[in-house]
Homo-oligomer: A and B are copies of this chain.
């Protein structure tokens, strides 16, 4: 069995602080600063390692994986509607969250690979950034099919494309790619690569605090969401690992694709759904995403997705 990364213990510390009603508080400015750092750093790291590939060669593969990600909300929606008995708006919004991705889960996956000295394709980060688009658009269509009132597509696309998450990740990729090309990665890596894990630690502490405050929101549909929040990412991850091996990604890359498919959003998606599907109740999607799926993924999921990747890589 793979060892649990020390960094994820900070998530437990955060949950504990919440449960014990500790007066520990992460200043809002620190939370925002850490997330700016992480997004740039994830992009930068990906960009630097992309500088080693011919972009045009990988583009078709990357795009297919992005497009196929639209299958995730399409699968989640009927489950949520039929089995979960959620209304149309909520089902679509939750489906959009699960189709979308979590940069922090991605970061934990990268940390896991670092720990066992494996690497993944740099362009995974571009896939991550692009995957938001089909996920959020599909979720919105599902949520609003036949509903009265017009969907604010313009505002939604602006929110998705210029939202902090995508903007900083893509920006980081560009700078990292350029730095890799001109061979001037060096002084920037001292910050954006070396400190990555430490910053992730502090961020996970805050995530734990947030998660412990959010769990109560899913009480009403607790059992269903608990099952869904664990089984759905496992299935999506299985599908991701299969695809990754099919497209001949490296072992690390196959795992990371599984992580992307399995992870779900609690930052970009809520902001987008507020605009696109204002009638959905955000408390439920955030509660399931942050309170169930996120901790499951970082503690149990990531090692499992690695085993899945090994399994499929051995098959193809």
Contacts and interface: CB of A to CB of B under 8 A. Distances in A.
A188 B54 CA distance: 33
Interface string A1-43: 0010111011001001100111111111110110011001000
A60 B228 CA distance: 48
B114 A3 contact: no
A15 to B, nearest CB: 11
A188 B201 contact: yes
Given A188-B197, A191-B195, A164 B30 contact: no
B30 A171 contact: no
Contacts of A217: none
A22 B187 contact: no
Nearest to A37: B202
Q: How many copies does the complex hold?
A: 3
Nearest to A31: B27
A111 interface: yes
Nearest to A3: B182
A163 B21 CA distance: 9
A174 B7 CA distance: 11
A191 B199 contact: yes
Given A36-B202, A195-B190, A178 B9 contact: yes
Given A190-B195, A191-B201, A27 B24 contact: no
A188 B22 contact: no
Interface in A108-165: 111, 114-115, 158-159, 162-164
B201 A24 contact: no
Instruction: Tell me if A's interface is mostly helix, strand, loop or mixed.
Output: helix
A213 interface: no
A168 B209 CA distance: 13
A184 interface: yes
Contact of A29 (B16, B27, B184): B27
B196 A187 contact: yes
Contacts of A7: 187-188
A22 to B, nearest CB: 4
Nearest to A199: B191
A187 B198 contact: yes
Interface centre among A21, A28, A32 (most CB of B within 10 A): A32
A167 interface: yes
A197 B189 CA distance: 9
Q: Which 4 A-B pairs have the closest CB atoms?
A: A191-B198, A187-B197, A29-B29, A6-B179
